[in-house]
Amino acid sequence: MYKNIIFDIGDVLFSYEANVSQKIYQNADDAFMPIRKAHDIVKQLHEYRDKDDKPRFQLFILSNFSQDGLSHLWLRHPELFDCFDGIVISGVHGSAQSRDDVLIADCKKPDPFIYNHLLESYDLHPHESLFIDDKIENVEGAEGVGMKGILYTCSDGLKKQFEELGILPESELIEWSRGPKKP
Residue 110: give its domain's CATH number: 3.40.50.1000
Partners of 7 in beta bridges:
61, 132
**Average pLDDT across the chain, whole number:** 82
14 within a domain of the structure (yes/no): yes
46 within a domain of the structure (yes/no): yes
- Biggest CA–CA distance in the chain, Å, is 46
What is the spatial distance between Cα 114 and Cα 147, in angstroms, rounded to a whole number? 13
Using one digit for the tens of pLDDT, what is the confidence trace for 29-70? 566 789 999 999 999 899 888 787 666 899 999 999 888 888
The terminus-to-terminus CA distance of the chain in angstroms comes to 29
The answer on pLDDT for 22 being more than 90 is no
38 within a domain of the structure (yes/no): yes
- pLDDT, greater one: 173 or 148: 148
182 within a domain of the structure (yes/no): no
Using one digit for the tens of pLDDT, what is the confidence trace for 109-154? 999 999 999 999 999 999 999 999 999 999 999 999 999 999 999 9
Reported pTM: 0.84
Domain hosting 172: range is 4-177
Secondary structure class of 58 (helix, strand, coil): strand
Number of domains in the chain: 1
